[in-house]
Chains A and B, each alone.
Chain A
């Protein structure tokens, strides 16, 4: 969707005064829901030696507006809309999340709308705002659908989630049903479902929290990817995916890792393709400075044309995050990326903020 960026910015510039009327608690009855308006954005500078010659480029990250509101004591609403600058100077508006949640118990919360699919750790913990995540970019497996990502990181449907705890242990669980993937890897079916199959996902995590927090989890999903009338090289695909995630975090260290496998079975030709991805990240928290290491792998089976526009490869990242204040962080990274036998070296600097 191509929208005139200044027009949308003008519209949203009118909203902060409405947000300023919001009370911190929903107990004030004025006859209308109150909401909070927040946002994220980031500005980047990347110096890369490919494509040659070495060049530097400034880039504007996603400008993201985020609304939350209580509609009743146990009913809440959340919406997130992103404005992006694309190559060629075009702007795009993405409705990233629109969800309503019903929660009368910690054991069962119902969420309906467009959500971040409950898979693994990174996808639901870090979302879109660059300020939230420790690194400049997301790991390759968790890139968004329109950025060559492997996983269905957005869904339109319903979820039931909950959390139960005893002592230092907690069990968190989420199950979802959604429209599923569209005919191509970039489409998230938001208004209709072209086939009768629904995508199913589930995630279970076990956590232990005392002086530090330890988390282990497994996630899985299945879907039927419809055939693409514009591409007869494949038929409908039966998709199954599975992953494990682990995290350990103390006041000084954080270690997080995820490993994924996704299989496509072509129902027309009978062929199968398996893709694998994963990352491992270590962060050392020294107050406002947080050095980190990230190793990132995306291995795609070239026989599967569904992901032919994605970029497989391996990346090693060494970086440091400097929290200037509570709401602004500057990150500096050195990256070594291997793709199709070619090695790219890059320096990336990002200032990411929230408001």
Chain B
């Protein structure tokens, strides 16, 4: 079979032009951003930031008092919420079953008395933190930005800053 070159028709040239413009536009567009998650705190929480190691100790229920003696209290995101996966994978490095057993084990060892509360939604968690004295929670950064809560620095960075640690 012999292939014959074919001169593009006017409609073909128009189509090619549209495709070329779209391609250039997409190249210049911003890449899809990973979702970021913020650590929010109630007004009486006496810290403005935590290192990632300190964050792990807080949510692993190992750190139970702030330096002044105030109890550390955290909310855990509900099962199935993206913040829960960030908590398990990036902060605690455990799976769901290990987290549940860890909490039960701490109760049985007398390290904690009650398990952490779990709000029914991200919005409810933000509301609880905003209205309480000393709660900490992890929520999508976009929800934290719209609410009247303090956002803590993690390893010196806030959500939106380059190198911020908690993203998915």
Tell me if A87 counts as interface (CB < 8 A to partner B).
Answer: no
Tell me if A68 counts as interface (CB < 8 A to partner B).
Answer: yes
Across the interface, do A103 and B65 meet the contact criterion of CB distance under 8 Å?
yes
List residues of chain B with CB within 8 A of the CB of A168.
53
* Contact code string A100-144 (vs B, CB < 8 Å = 1, else 0): 010111100001000000000000110101001000000000000
Tell me if A16 counts as interface (CB < 8 A to partner B).
Answer: no
Instruction: Report how far A36 CA is from B113 CA in the complex, Å.
Output: 8
Tell me if B168 counts as interface (CB < 8 A to partner A).
Answer: no
Contact among B56, B63, B100, B108 for A127, CB-based, below 8 A:
B108
Residue among A78, A106, A354 with the highest chain B CB neighbour number at 10 A: A106
Across the interface, do A125 and B105 meet the contact criterion of CB distance under 8 Å?
yes
Distance in Å from the Cβ of B43 to the closest Cβ of chain A?
16
**A24 touching B65 in the complex, CB below 8 Å, given contacts A73-B71, A99-B110, A209-B56:** no
Across the interface, do A104 and B53 meet the contact criterion of CB distance under 8 Å?
no
Q: Which of B50-108 contact A (CB under 8 A)?
A: 51, 53-54, 56-57, 62-65, 69, 71, 73, 93-95, 97-98, 100-101, 104-105, 107-108
**A251 touching B94 in the complex, CB below 8 Å, given contacts A24-B117, A70-B113, A74-B69:** yes
Tell me if B109 counts as interface (CB < 8 A to partner A).
Answer: yes
Tell me if A167 counts as interface (CB < 8 A to partner B).
Answer: yes
List residues of chain A with CB within 8 A of the CB of B63.
106, 165
Across the interface, do B97 and A323 meet the contact criterion of CB distance under 8 Å?
yes
Across the interface, do A24 and B114 meet the contact criterion of CB distance under 8 Å?
yes
Tell me if A66 counts as interface (CB < 8 A to partner B).
Answer: yes
**A70 touching B114 in the complex, CB below 8 Å, given contacts A104-B69, A165-B57:** yes
- How many residues does chain A have at the interface if contact means C-beta atoms less than 8 Å apart? 41
Tell me if B115 counts as interface (CB < 8 A to partner A).
Answer: yes
Tell me if A318 counts as interface (CB < 8 A to partner B).
Answer: no
Instruction: Report how far A38 CA is from B113 CA in the complex, Å.
Output: 12
List residues of chain B with CB within 8 A of the CB of A66.
108
Across the interface, do A26 and B94 meet the contact criterion of CB distance under 8 Å?
no
Across the interface, do A165 and B53 meet the contact criterion of CB distance under 8 Å?
yes
Tell me if A211 counts as interface (CB < 8 A to partner B).
Answer: yes
Across the interface, do B107 and A36 meet the contact criterion of CB distance under 8 Å?
yes
Q: Which of A38-90 contact B (CB under 8 A)?
A: 38, 66, 68-70, 73-74, 76, 78
Tell me if A232 counts as interface (CB < 8 A to partner B).
Answer: no
**A251 touching B71 in the complex, CB below 8 Å, given contacts A111-B110, A168-B53:** no
Across the interface, do B114 and A38 meet the contact criterion of CB distance under 8 Å?
no
* Contact code string A298-328 (vs B, CB < 8 Å = 1, else 0): 0000000000000000000000000100100
Instruction: Report how far A111 CA is from B94 CA in the complex, Å.
Output: 30
Tell me if A25 counts as interface (CB < 8 A to partner B).
Answer: yes
Contact among B71, B94, B110 for A68, CB-based, below 8 A:
B110
Identity of the chain A residue whose Cβ is nearest the Cβ of B133 in the assembled complex: A27
Contact among B56, B65, B109 for A125, CB-based, below 8 A:
B109
Tell me if A170 counts as interface (CB < 8 A to partner B).
Answer: yes
Across the interface, do B64 and A103 meet the contact criterion of CB distance under 8 Å?
yes
**A38 touching B107 in the complex, CB below 8 Å, given contacts A168-B53, A251-B93:** yes
Tell me if A163 counts as interface (CB < 8 A to partner B).
Answer: yes
Identity of the chain B residue whose Cβ is nearest the Cβ of A68 in the assembled complex: B113
Across the interface, do A170 and B62 meet the contact criterion of CB distance under 8 Å?
yes
Across the interface, do A326 and B101 meet the contact criterion of CB distance under 8 Å?
yes
List residues of chain A with CB within 8 A of the CB of B104.
38, 354
List residues of chain A with CB within 8 A of the CB of B65.
103-106
Q: Which of A199-236 contact B (CB under 8 A)?
A: 209-212
Instruction: Report how far A105 CA is from B65 CA in the complex, Å.
Output: 6
Across the interface, do A76 and B117 meet the contact criterion of CB distance under 8 Å?
no
Instruction: Report how far A69 CA is from B112 CA in the complex, Å.
Output: 10
Instruction: Report how far A323 CA is from B97 CA in the complex, Å.
Output: 9
List residues of chain B with CB within 8 A of the CB of A26.
113-114
**A132 touching B107 in the complex, CB below 8 Å, given contacts A103-B65, A251-B94:** no
Across the interface, do B64 and A106 meet the contact criterion of CB distance under 8 Å?
yes
Identity of the chain A residue whose Cβ is nearest the Cβ of B94 in the assembled complex: A251
Instruction: Report how far A25 CA is from B71 CA in the complex, Å.
Output: 12
Across the interface, do A68 and B100 meet the contact criterion of CB distance under 8 Å?
no
A-B contact pairs, 6 of them (CB 8 A): A23-B114, A25-B117, A78-B110, A99-B110, A163-B62, A165-B53
Enumerate the 10 nearest inter-chain pairs by beta-carbon distance, A residue then B residue, closest first.
Answer: A104-B69, A78-B110, A76-B113, A70-B113, A68-B113, A326-B100, A106-B65, A167-B53, A24-B114, A211-B93
